[in-house]
Structures are given as C-alpha cells and as structure tokens.
Amino acid sequence: MNQLLPLIKDFLETMQVVLKTAEELRVEAQRLPSTEADALPGKIQQLDDLCAEGLKTYKKAQDIAEEMRDLVG
C-alpha cells in the first residue's frame, strides 16, 4: 500500500488536470456559437489544442492506473 499511495496521489492530480481541461473545453465550446466568423479559426485551434492536451493527460492517467494494476497484481 505504501508504494501505491504516491501513484494514487499522482492519478488523482492527473485526473484533476483532465477535469480542468474538460471544463475548459466545455466553456470554449459554449462560446463557439457566439464567436464571430473571423475569430472562428483561432477558436477552433484553441479547442483542438485543449483536446490534444486532454488526450495527453488522459493517457498519462491511464498509464498511472496501469502501474497501479501492476503493483496490486
């Protein structure tokens, strides 16, 4: 359990980042309909970046969870 605790902490922190990114994505997506046409490409790029960041963080969380699984056996 001692070895597991840092991983649990790391997982929780990573999932908090995932949640934060997901919320940012939702907020930015909500702003999309009121975005002016010329600002749309920039806004879409921003959403794309958030998506990429979310994917990276989610994969990191999954890696940590797999590490936990290996440890628990």
Minimum gap (Å) between residue 48 Cβ and other proteins:
5
Structure tokens, 35: 């975005």
Minimum gap (Å) between residue 52 Cβ and other proteins:
8
By CB under 8 A, residue 59 contacts other proteins: yes
Minimum gap (Å) between residue 59 Cβ and other proteins:
6
By CB under 8 A, residue 68 contacts other proteins: yes
By CB under 8 A, residue 22 contacts other proteins: yes
